[in-house]
Each structure stands twice: as C-alpha cells, then as structure tokens.
C-alpha cells in the first residue's frame, strides 16, 4: 500500500512539474512578445522595456523558469496588471463561486448517475433500462451551455423560480447565492451524470454476474439488499476511477457555465484576463485550475487504491 | 435496438455532412447578407427559420455552421489521433521507461481540457478557428494515446503478433503491419466518439468568443448571440442547440453501435468522456 501510494505521489509531482512547464512554455517560449501582447501595438519602446523588466522578460529563459517554479512552490502567482492586485487573492475571491459550483455539480452528478445506473442494471433489457440508456444518450449530446440557456428560459424567465443569472455574494445573501448555483450546477451535471450512469450500469452488470452475487441470490437474499449492499460497493471501484477523471471536465464546464449565468468565478476571471491580455492572471488561474483538478484526481485515485486491494498488488489495470 | 441506434447515428452524421457540403455550393441567402429592416423575424415563407439580430437568414447560418463544425472536428480529431496513436503505439511497443514517461506526459496533458488549452493559446495568439482547432487537437492526444496503448498492449499478446516477433521482424514493423491493423477498429470507435466531443468543444469555444470569430458562421456563436434576445425571441436559441445536439448524438450512436461489434476484450479499452 505504502509503495503504491509513494508511486502515485511521485507521479503527481511529475504531473505538477510537467503542467507548470507546459504553462510556462506556452506563455514564455513560443514566438510572440508577451509585453507587446499586453500593451498592444501602440505601446512606446520605453513602456515595453519597463514591462519586460517587470515581467522579468529581460532575464534568460532558464532563470525565468526557475523563478516561476520557485514562486509557484511558495504559492506566489504574481501581480495582475489590470487589477493591480496579487493574482492569489483574486483567485481566492473567485474560488468562492467556482469551488461550490463544481462541488454542487459533482454531488448532482453522483446523485443522478449512480442510482440511474443501478436501476438500469437491475432491469437489464426492460423498458426502464432502455429509457435510462436513451436519456443518458441525450444527456451526453446536449451541450451544457445550451442546457443552461434552456434552463434559464424555463426556470428563470418562464416560471421565475430561480435566478436567471448573476450572483448576490455569500455574505450578503447566502440563500440567494446558493440558488444562483442550482441551475448552472444542474446544467453541468447532466452530461457527467449520463457518463456515470453508463459506467455504473456496466460495472453493476459485471458484478451481478459474479459467483458471489449468484450465491447470495441462491441463498434467498432480497433483491434490494443484494443490489445496494453486495453488488454496488464492488461495482463502485471503476465508478470511482471515472469520477476522478470527471473533475477536470467539471472544472472546464464551470468556466463555460459561469459565462452563461454571469457568475463571477474563476472562469469569468480568466476569460476577462484573456480579452484584457493580462497574461499573469491567465497563467496563474490556469495553473490553479490544473493543480486543483490533478489534486482531486489524485485523492480519488488514493481512495480507489484503499478500496481495491488488487490495485495495490499489481499497479494500475 | 442496437442496429437501430447505429442506423440513426449514421443518418444523423450523414445529414450534418450533407448540410456542410450543401453550404459550399448553395445556401438560401448569402452567409453575410444583412437585412436590418427584417431583423429578428419569426419563421416565415421567405425565411423558414426566421432571421437573427442582423436580419441574417437562420437556415443559411445553420447550414454554414455545419461546415465549421465538420471541418474543425475532422482536422482536430485527425491531428490529435495522428499524434496520440503514435505516442500510444510507441509506449506499448517499447515498454519500460519510455512507456512510463509517455504515460506520465499523457496524464499531465489530461489536466488540460480543450477549454483550458484554448484559453492559454488565445491569450497569446488571439481568438480564431485555427487556435480552437489546435486546442481541441491537444485535448485529443492523450485520449488516443491511452486508448492506443491499452489496445496495443493486448494486441502484442496475440498469437499472430507473437509469431511475427518470432520471425525476427523489428518492433516498428510489427507495430505497423500487425498491431495497428489489429486495433484499427478501436481507433475508429474512439474517433467517432471524439468527433462528437470536438463538435461540442468547438461550439463551447465559439460560444465563449474564443473560437470562430464573426462573420464566420458557428453554432456556438449563434447561441451566444441568441442569449441576448432570450426574452423576446427565445426560438433563436433553439435551432443551433438542436443542431449541435443532433450532430453529437449521431457521433455517439455510431461510436456505440460500432463498439458493440468489436472483440469484447478490446471493447473496454474505448474511453467514454463528456465535456
């Protein structure tokens, strides 16, 4: 177990460094002058030289790389030129919207996907199974941002039950803030829930075919107990592996849905930074998004190893 | 039921490709024809699906949007597949340290969904269809690398591949002549699923304003425009969303239908993702 985890931690560290290198390479090594990009075509030579110095662009690439890695290790993401604030505090501010949104979406994903998958597997080949498969096929095809727009039409504009966009702030109006996240979280969760339902169904069908479940059935165990207590915990192992991967897509989806619902989260921050050419913010936010996704995926992986002894013995399947 | 799904999927993809091809030679109105007096009109005999806020014909934009979706999807998935298959086949063929290194690289690449790489690329090079395509291709590389590696590792254990090795063929020749043909079916299935995801990603990027730029027609862009008029002209948000959904549904049905025809051992190698 320790050895398996040590291996995963090493892989995690490698992934971090590679991700940091990729972000560094895109903004620092590719052709194009970041200072020119930030100041625009009309910038004076003096202003360009000053900004290049501020960004450290007058230093050699390897010095800048080491500086960037060192800053990252200390949690220093630099200072935004448009906001005049440290990127770290900007990120913390916006994380108060994005993190709850992603978590709510993840909870909805699991709440929709796992029961649907179990129900479909329990009624394999019958109407309920086919209906769940058909709905999941639709869930996979409908773009989250279009679903968001349709939900705004139905619940925001039509029925007026939930806000059509905007965010009142947690401190000012906690209930309103939570309400503002419900529709975007649902729009995010439908596609991921559909994938999860399909994986859960497949995993359940496999465990329901194992000798121990047949044995339990032969001994007269009730169906509900067999499904939820015996088959599901064993089927959850591949399901958990998928959830780790889904986190990345939930975060990417959150960037889009924050725009649909005009939520002041990390996605809005980075999109605005892209249009305002604030490369320091772009780089910092993307690093935070990537590190967040990788860390969560790692946690899920470690849980996965705790639950499945086979993994510890053989490494990843 | 499964056959029906495959047929429906092929029909949907066929329709989208036909729309894209048709838009090359004919559209009801020119793509950039603006008619301010007739803007935001509902469906009528002259404009079957109505007009947008510039008075452009919606049907024309939907047809031309199919072209953008198909072209971006084909190029992005094709490029991602070319690189990903090479990486995955090299990892499976070489094994050992190279395998481990390539898979760690692909793990790191997995942390960059298309939206995130598109943001990075756009911040430096500006928004546009080409940059969106590059971002979607980057997202496809690790997907194909992992699928290829898993399938190729199984193929290396097959008798006909071992026989080729025993005959003294080089690992490169075995990969080219025996491993890749064995796993081609898996790659086609994964390609169909990824094509659907690429259409979704292109639409999302264009919706965000970092994909296709006006006046280039794109379904995602149309949805962004439509959101401004959601209160007065909600039907504007209907057609582009339906077009995207049907295109993606078609790809997924084809992918699933073909997957059921694969060797069961290879079937589980296919990755089913959602964006």
CA A132 – CA A203 distance, rounded (Å): 15
Mean pLDDT, chain A, whole residue set: 84
Q: Closest to A26 (Cβ–Cβ): which among B124, B204, B226?
A: B124
Is residue A259 located within the same domain as residue A149?
A: yes
Is residue A69 located within the same domain as residue A102?
A: no
Other CB atoms within 10 Å distance of the CB of residue B34: 14
Per-residue pLDDT, averaged over B112-134, amounts to: 85
pLDDT, one tens digit per residue, over A132-188 is: 999 999 999 999 999 999 999 888 877 878 887 888 888 888 888 898 999 999 999
| Number of domains, chain B | 1
Is residue A6 located within the same domain as residue A135?
A: no
Q: Closest to A18 (Cβ–Cβ): which among B108, B208, B234?
A: B108
Torsion on CA atoms B9, B14, B15, B16, rounded to nearest 10: 90
Report chain A residues whose CB lies below 8 A from the CB of B256: 137
Within a domain: residue B6?
Answer: no
pLDDT in the model for residue A310:
66
Residue numbers of the domain that contains B214: 73-274
> What is the value of ipTM here, to two decimals?
0.89
Structure tokens given for A33: 């002058």
CATH of the domain at B230: 1.10.3720.10
Contact A250/B at CB under 8 A = no
Within a domain: residue A173?
Answer: yes
Is residue A14 located within the same domain as residue A157?
A: no
Contact A27/B at CB under 8 A = yes
Within a domain: residue B105?
Answer: yes
Which residue shows structure tokens 């829930």? A193
Phi and psi dihedrals of B68, rounded to 5? -55, -45
Peptide bond before B215: cis, by omega within 30 degrees of 0? yes
CA A145 – CA B260 distance, rounded (Å): 30
Other CB atoms within 10 Å distance of the CB of residue B116: 24
% chain B with pLDDT above 90:
53
Q: Which of B248, B258, B256, B261 is nearest to B272 (CA)?
A: B256
Which residue shows structure tokens 């465990």? A207
Which residue shows structure tokens 């790809």? B251
Query: Do B11 and B250 contact (CB within 8 A), yes or no?
Result: yes
Query: Do B262 and B186 contact (CB within 8 A), yes or no?
Result: yes
Within a domain: residue B50?
Answer: no
Contact between A191 and B237 using a beta-carbon 8 Å cutoff: no
pLDDT, one tens digit per residue, over B221-259 is: 999 998 888 888 888 899 999 999 999 999 999 999 999
Is residue A27 located within the same domain as residue A128?
A: no
pLDDT at A42 over 80: no
Is residue A183 located within the same domain as residue A124?
A: yes
Confidence of residue B63 (pLDDT cuts 50, 70, 90): very high
Contact between B208 and A194 using a beta-carbon 8 Å cutoff: no
Structure tokens given for B41: 């009109």
Structure tokens given for A90: 């900007």
* Cα atoms in the 13 Å half-sphere on the side-chain side of A210: 14
Confidence of residue B2 (pLDDT cuts 50, 70, 90): low
Report chain B residues whose CB lies below 8 A from the CB of A249: 113, 273-275
Within a domain: residue A20?
Answer: yes
CA B275 to chain centre: 11
Other CB atoms within 10 Å distance of the CB of residue A53: 12
CA A132 – CA A194 distance, rounded (Å): 9
Is residue A205 located within the same domain as residue A65?
A: no
CA B235 – CA A284 distance, rounded (Å): 39
Within a domain: residue B38?
Answer: no
Within a domain: residue A200?
Answer: yes
Within a domain: residue A285?
Answer: no
pLDDT, one tens digit per residue, over A203-236 is: 888 888 888 888 888 888 888 888 888 888 888 8
Residue numbers of the domain that contains A199: 94-275
pLDDT, one tens digit per residue, over B10-54 is: 999 999 999 999 989 888 888 887 777 778 888 887 878 888 888
Q: Write out residues 29-48 of A within 8 Å (CB-CB) of B.
A: 30, 32, 34, 37
Structure tokens given for B11: 């029909």
Helices (H) and strands (E) in chain B, counts: 11, 0
Within a domain: residue B111?
Answer: yes
Report chain A residues whose CB lies below 8 A from the CB of B248: 140-143
pLDDT, one tens digit per residue, over A275-315 is: 887 888 888 898 888 888 888 878 877 787 777 766 655 44
Is residue A152 located within the same domain as residue A257?
A: yes
Residue in A closest to B233 by C-alpha: A153
Top-ranked range on mean pLDDT: pick from A21-25, A60-64, B98-102, B162-166:
B162-166
In sequence order, what E strands does chain A have?
Answer: none
Within a domain: residue A88?
Answer: no
Closest-CA distance of chain A to residue B163, Å: 26
Is residue A57 located within the same domain as residue A162?
A: no
Report chain B residues whose CB lies below 8 A from the CB of A127: none
CA A253 – CA A187 distance, rounded (Å): 9
Which residue shows structure tokens 């898996």? B186
CA A30 – CA A37 distance, rounded (Å): 12
| Number of domains, chain A | 2
Within a domain: residue B61?
Answer: no
CA A149 – CA B231 distance, rounded (Å): 11
Per-residue pLDDT, averaged over B118-144, amounts to: 88
Lowest model confidence (mean pLDDT) among A136-150, A182-196, B77-91, B98-112: B98-112
Q: What global pTM score does this model have? A: 0.89
CA B242 – CA A32 distance, rounded (Å): 39
CATH of the domain at A222: 1.10.3720.10
How far CA A179 is from CA of A262, A264, B34, in Å, comes to 14, 15, 40
Torsion on CA atoms A193, B137, B208, A141, rounded to nearest 10: -30
Within a domain: residue A86?
Answer: no
Q: State the best of A80, A87, A98, A140 to mutate against chain B, taking most chain B CBs within 10 Å.
A: A140
CA B109 – CA A19 distance, rounded (Å): 8
Query: Do A106 and A247 contact (CB within 8 A), yes or no?
Result: yes
Other CB atoms within 10 Å distance of the CB of residue B261: 11
Is residue A109 located within the same domain as residue A251?
A: yes
Is residue A192 located within the same domain as residue A257?
A: yes
Residue in A closest to B227 by C-alpha: A149
Mean pLDDT, chain B, whole residue set: 89
Within a domain: residue A302?
Answer: no
pLDDT in the model for residue A224:
82
Within a domain: residue A117?
Answer: yes
Convert B164-183 into a string of H (helix), E (strand) and C (coil): HHHCCCCHHHHHHHHHHHHH
Confidence of residue A39 (pLDDT cuts 50, 70, 90): confident
Confidence of residue A31 (pLDDT cuts 50, 70, 90): low
Phi and psi dihedrals of A159, rounded to 5? -85, -25
- Rg of chain A over all Cα atoms, to the nearest angstrom: 24
Is residue A175 located within the same domain as residue A36?
A: no
Query: Do A232 and A204 contact (CB within 8 A), yes or no?
Result: yes
Closest-CA distance of chain A to residue B257, Å: 12
pLDDT in the model for residue A315:
46
């Amino acid at each position: 177990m320790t050895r398996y985890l040590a291996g995963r931690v090493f892989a995690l560290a490698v992934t971090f460094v590679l991700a940091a290198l990729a972000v560094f390479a895109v903004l620092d090594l590719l052709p194009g002058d970041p200072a020119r990009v930030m100041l625009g075509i009309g910038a004076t030579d003096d202003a360009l030289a000053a900004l290049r110095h501020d960004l450290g662009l007058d230093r050699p690439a390897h010095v800048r790389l080491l500086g960037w890695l060192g800053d990252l290790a200390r949690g220093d993401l630099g200072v935004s030129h448009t906001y005049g604030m440290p990127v770290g505090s900007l990120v913390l501010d916006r994380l108060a919207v994005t993190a709850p949104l992603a978590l709510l979406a993840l909870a909805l994903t699991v709440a929709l996907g796992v029961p649907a998958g179990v129900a479909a597997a329990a009624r394999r080949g019958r109407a309920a199974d086919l209906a769940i498969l058909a709905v999941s096929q639709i869930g996979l095809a409908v773009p989250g941002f279009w679903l968001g727009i349709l939900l705004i039409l139905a619940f925001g504009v039509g029925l007026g039950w939930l806000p059509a966009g905007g965010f009142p702030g947690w401190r000012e109006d906690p209930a309103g803030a939570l309400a503002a996240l419900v529709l975007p979280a649902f729009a995010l969760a439908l596609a991921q829930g559909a994938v999860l339902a399909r994986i859960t169904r497949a995993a359940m069908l496999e465990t329901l075919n194992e000798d121990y479940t047949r044995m339990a059935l032969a001994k007269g165990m009730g169906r509900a107990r067999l499904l939820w207590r015996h088959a599901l915990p064993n089927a959850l192992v591949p399901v958990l592996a998928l959830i780790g991967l889904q986190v990345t897509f939930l975060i990417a989806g959150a960037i889009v849905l924050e725009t649909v619902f005009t939520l002041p989260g990390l996605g809005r921050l980075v999109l605005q930074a892209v249009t305002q050419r604030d490369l320091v913010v772009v780089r910092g936010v993307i690093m935070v998004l990537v590190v967040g996704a990788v860390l969560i995926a790692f946690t899920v992986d470690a849980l996965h190893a705790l639950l499945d002894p086979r993994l510890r013995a053989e490494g990843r399947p | 039921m499964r056959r029906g799904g495959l047929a429906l999927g092929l029909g949907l993809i066929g329709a989208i490709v036909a729309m894209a091809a048709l838009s090359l030679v004919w559209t009801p109105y020119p793509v950039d024809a603006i008619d301010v007096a007739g803007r935001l009109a509902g469906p009528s005999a002259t404009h079957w699906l109505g007009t947008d806020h510039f008075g452009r014909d919606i049907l024309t934009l939907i047809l031309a949007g199919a072209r953008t979706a198909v072209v971006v999807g084909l190029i992005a998935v094709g490029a991602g597949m070319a690189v990903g298959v090479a990486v995955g086949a090299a990892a499976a063929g070489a094994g050992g340290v190279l395998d481990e290194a390539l898979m760690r690289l692909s793990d790191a690449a997995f942390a960059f969904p298309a939206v995130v790489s598109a943001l990075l690329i756009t911040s430096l090079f500006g928004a546009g269809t080409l940059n969106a395509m590059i971002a979607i291709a980057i997202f496809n590389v690790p997907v194909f690398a992992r699928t290829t590696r898993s399938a190729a590792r199984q193929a290396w254990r097959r008798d006909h591949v071992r026989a080729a090795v025993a005959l003294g063929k080089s690992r490169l020749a075995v990969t080219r002549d025996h491993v890749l043909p064995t796993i081609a079916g898996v790659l086609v299935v994964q390609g169909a699923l990824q094509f659907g995801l690429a259409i979704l990603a292109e639409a999302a990027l264009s919706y965000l304003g970092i994909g296709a730029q006006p006046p280039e027609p794109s379904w995602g862009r149309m949805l962004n425009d439509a959101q401004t008029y959601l209160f007065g002209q909600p039907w504007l948000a209907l057609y582009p969303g339906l077009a995207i959904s049907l295109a993606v549904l078609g790809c997924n049905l084809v992918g699933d239908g073909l997957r059921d025809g694969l060797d069961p051992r290879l079937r589980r190698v296919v990755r089913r993702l959602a964006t």
